[in-house]
């Protein structure tokens, strides 16, 4: 067997670091960050919030959608250092503290709006924003304003129906 060179660990060279403070699901965090770290990687790998998913890491699939100061953004293209001073909400912050599902989450179940579930947290975060932005006047408008979230299982019919139901209920 060819020998393997073992290196002492934890002696990475000094890299540029930046301290950033922000809230995640209303809890304050303060981290020393490598500017290369995306908000997505920080959520998943440093804060243990793995509900936000990495589908493409290029801003094209929407699986990593979170809310940043109330706006839906893709966390893969958001450098974590940029979030300093802002409020992040992830899928883990959507469910009520007592575990009750948000009405949109329940509507996803009722309308069979997911299969493998991988794009689902991003769909829910984007759907919540779609409703808050008021882009729910028709199914076509919902589809248009959900175009940033791909679902390979093709559960779009259920996703649109779920968003529609919750939007209509909010209006009633």
Q: Where in 36-95 is the site for other proteins (CB under 8 A)?
A: 36-37, 41, 44-45, 49-63, 65, 68, 71-74, 77-79, 81-82, 84-85, 90-92, 94-95
26 sits near other proteins (criterion: CB under 8 A): no
160 binds other proteins (CB under 8 A): yes
Q: Measured from the CB atom, is 29 or 101 closer to other proteins?
A: 101
Q: What is the DSSP letter of 149?
A: -
Characterize 58-84 residue by residue with b for buried, 16 or more Cβ atoms within 10 angstroms of its Cβ, and e for exposed: eeebbbbbbbbeeebbbbbebbbbbbe
Is the CB of 31 or the CB of 74 nearer to other proteins? 74
Instruction: Tell me the two tokens of residue 33.
Output: 């960050």
Q: DSSP code of 45?
A: I
Indicate whether 165 belongs to the interface with other proteins (CB under 8 A). no
Quick one: 29 or 54, whose CB is closer to other proteins? 54
Binding-site member from 31, 39, 131, 159 for other proteins (CB under 8 A): 159
**Spatial distance between the Cα atoms of 118 and 51, rounded to a whole number of angstroms:** 9
The correct pick among 15, 28, 30, 97 for binding other proteins (CB under 8 A) is: 15
Residues near other proteins (CB under 8 A), total = 94
Token code pair at residue 130: 């779609």
3-state SS, residue 78: coil
């Amino acid at each position: 067997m060819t020998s393997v060179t073992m290196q002492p660990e934890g002696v990475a060279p000094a890299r540029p670091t930046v301290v950033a403070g922000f809230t995640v699901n209303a809890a304050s965090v303060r981290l020393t960050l490598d500017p290369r770290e995306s908000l997505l990687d920080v959520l998943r790998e440093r804060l243990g919030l793995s509900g936000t998913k990495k589908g493409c890491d290029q801003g094209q699939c929407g699986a990593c959608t979170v809310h940043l100061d109330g706006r839906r953004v893709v966390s893969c293209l958001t450098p974590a250092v940029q979030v300093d001073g802002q409020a992040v909400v992830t899928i883990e912050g959507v469910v009520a503290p007592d575990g009750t599902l948000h009405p949109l989450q329940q509507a996803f179940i009722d309308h069979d709006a997911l299969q493998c579930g991988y794009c689902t947290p991003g769909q829910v975060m984007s759907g919540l924003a779609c409703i808050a932005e008021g882009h729910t006047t028709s199914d076509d408008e919902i589809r248009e304003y959900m175009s940033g979230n791909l679902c390979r299982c093709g559960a779009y019919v259920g996703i649109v129906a779920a968003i529609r139901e919750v939007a209509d209920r909010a209006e009633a």
